[in-house]
Structure 1
Amino acid sequence: LLKVEPDGPICHTGEPSCFFNKIDEVPETTDFFQENIGSGIIDEIWAIIQERIKDMPPESYTANLIRSGIGKVAQKVTEEAGETAISAAMGDKDHLPEEIGDLLYHTLVLMAASNIKPKQIWDVLRTRIKR
């Protein structure tokens, strides 16, 4: 175990720590929990995927998917994209968020398996913004 002092902020929000919200100050509205988490969840999932790839625990779905090879990961992305498109086309708003979540997760695994960093994707997306 190492104890270190950071040179700057360590949280993606720019705060000195990720633990800056006091529990007794969290707003008691559903909007806080549903809408204000933003892309931070992507960072969390990305970190977990990286950890699974590093440790490759035998009970991990992510590690097992990576073990099965890039072709299998790509196949899962294709499968989830199809399920997402079908849910959207059918107007199935109950299952569509779940399918989109699965698609995003498997896309992140594909990125990690292909050694593509999120910043590369954010840079591409920034070029898509019409000014």
Structure 2
Amino acid sequence: MSRLAEILTRLSAVIESRKGGDATASYTARLLADPALAAKKLGEEAVETVIAAVQSDRDALASESADLLYHWLVVMAAAGVSLDEVAARLEAREGVSGHDEKAGRKG
């Protein structure tokens, strides 16, 4: 398992442990209790990540990417979507061109 995968797995477990926690004492518990706020924060972090990338700021890109991944994990936990579900979707797309995969989506 890669270092990032290990860290994401550990962080995901910590986030899960915060479900139902005191929202006044835990930022993660606060986000989990308010999925709309969690999604908004995810969007903010995505924009900040894009800005860092456009500015070619490696340090900011690494930092903002960490924030983005944390907020993504919180949104996923709030929605009850597991990392295994995401992994299954990615595995299903392996070896399929991006154009073909997108064309095959419903909706």
Tell me which interval the TM-score lies in, with the shorter structure as reference length.
0.7 to 0.9
Distance, in Å, in 1 between the alignment partners of 2:31 and 2:36 is 10
CA-based RMSD = 1.6
Q: Which amino acid aligns with 1:40?
A: E
Partner of 2:60: 95
Describe how 1:51-70 pairs up with structure 2 within 5 A: 51-54=17-20, 56-57=21-22, 58-67=24-33, 69-70=34-35
CA contact (8 A) 2:32 2:77 kept: no
Q: CA deviation at 1:64?
A: 1.3
Does structure 1 residue 47 correspond to structure 2 residue 10?
no
Q: Which amino acid aligns with 1:41?
A: I
Percent of aligned positions that are identical: 36
Deviation readout 1:22-67 (Å, 9 max, x if unpaired): xxxxxxxxxxxxxx6231111100100010114x033111001222
Q: TM-score, normalised by structure 2?
A: 0.81
Of 57, 60, 81, the match for 1:116: 81
Distance, in Å, in 1 between the alignment partners of 2:4 and 2:61 is 18
Q: CA deviation at 1:129?
A: 1.6
- Unpaired runs of 5+ in structure 1? 1-12, 14-35
Partner of 2:36: 71
Q: Which one scores higher on RCO, CA 8 angstroms, separation ≥ 6?
A: 2
- The structure that is helix-richer by fraction is 2
Partner of 2:101: none
- Unpaired runs of 5+ in structure 2? 97-107
Larger Rg belongs to: 1
Q: TM-score, normalised by structure 1?
A: 0.67
Of 95, 102, 105, the match for 1:130: 95
Partner of 1:37: 3
SS of the residue 2:48 aligns to: helix
Question: What is the aligned residue count?
Answer: 95
